[in-house]
Structure 1
């Protein structure tokens, strides 16, 4: 991307292209005034996200408040990007949903049993692309 602005706003399709490239993100939950963030490996399914989890605080928090933020990002020496999904998360609860999700190839990264699939349905998706370069001279003569 060639642009004079080092920060470029990504459109929806560019956001989903990047989400499909990655498999690790972070989910933010909120219950009352308590917010938590959890790393999760995930897959995209159309324009939704799926991850697996076990019984515990993450699943309990999603049951109390389904509103979540999800963020994934990546970087190289030349550039970086970040995509944030605002949405609702819910555990898959029918046998057909779970059987379908089993076919998507999502496997835990660590050797633990994670029986619960959670789908994040976006309400909005935003993203930014960043060109990486040295910081401009902060103390030189300003150009007007």
Structure 2
């Protein structure tokens, strides 16, 4: 059975996952890349090092964001969000976003010593604001969600 999600189901999927894909486009180039993220019910928060993605998002803040859960070829859920990139420059906004990201991904680390290569230090409460760290959010303008399932509940 193929189906579509309502707003609540879309938000639930966004809140339940931690890896999504950002699609950006600038100067005739389209670029899609996976990112760690957290969704607070209003915006998608991400951190990144300076690079191609950030350069493109600064040039063209229109962004597409995709999250999926695939059990098998006939059981999957997918959400697409169109929105605007907004770089966070206020330290309070950056701290809020980074603490949410830390809280979301820290339980998923396999080893006690593991931590991302940028933005998060050894101590969870010590947010590493390296010069190249960019903290941003995606402000949703439109969201859609679809699924396919072989179960009657509509949940893959």
Could you state the TM-score of these two structures normalised by the residue count of structure 2? Answer: 0.75
Gaps of 5+ in 1: 1-5, 134-144
Counterparts of 2:33 and 2:140, CA distance in 1: 18
**Which structure's residues are more often helix, by fraction?**
2
Instruction: Describe the superposition over 1:82-127 as per-residue Cα deviations: whole angstroms up to 9, x where unpaired.
Output: 0000000111111111121232143598641142211000010000
Query: Is 2:45 the partner of 1:50?
Result: yes
Note if contact 1:16-1:47 (Cα within 8 Å) is conserved in structure 2. Answer: no
User: Could you say which residue in structure 2 is the equivalent of 1:88?
Assistant: 84
Runs of 4+ off more than 4 Å = 107-110
Q: CA deviation at 1:132?
A: 4.5
The within-5 A match list for 1:1-144 is: 6-77=1-72, 79-106=75-102, 111-114=116-119, 115-132=133-150
Could you state the TM-score of these two structures normalised by the residue count of structure 1? Answer: 0.81
- Partner SS state of residue 20, structure 1: helix
Q: CA deviation at 1:45?
A: 1.5
Counterparts of 2:21 and 2:69, CA distance in 1: 12
- Partner SS state of residue 89, structure 2: coil
Rg larger in 1 or in 2? 1
**Which structure's residues are more often strand, by fraction?**
1
